């Protein structure tokens, strides 16, 4: 479980400090109630799923762009050169 990732995604706007990687190193600075280790653990799977979905969406968007370029008769390389993009 990556506590920092969970807190960044699920507790945006909260202030905290994490010394190390374990819950014991979490110092809660916000006025809200500090989430329990069990609460963080409970949402970890959904946070991982979100991260995986975001990564897949980037792959899908790139493949879609490549398909559109091909439909226009362009190659990926031609677009990269035209816009100064690296491969």
pLDDT digits (tens, 9 = 90+) for 53-84: 999 999 999 888 888 888 888 887 887 787 77
In this prediction, residue 86 carries a pLDDT of 66
More confident residue, 68 or 48: 48
The reported pTM is 0.75
- Quick one: 67 exposed, middle or buried, by C-beta within 10 A (0-12, 13-18, 19+)? exposed
3-state secondary structure of 39: helix
In this prediction, residue 81 carries a pLDDT of 81
């Amino acid at each position: 479980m990556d506590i920092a990732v969970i807190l960044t995604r699920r507790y945006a706007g909260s202030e905290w400090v994490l010394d190390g990687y374990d819950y014991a190193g979490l110092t809660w600075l916000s006025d809200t109630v500090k989430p329990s280790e069990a609460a963080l653990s409970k949402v970890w799977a959904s946070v991982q799923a979100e991260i995986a979905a975001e990564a897949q969406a980037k792959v899908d968007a790139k493949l879609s762009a490549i398909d559109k370029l091909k439909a226009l008769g362009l190659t990926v390389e031609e677009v990269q050169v035209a816009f100064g993009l690296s491969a």
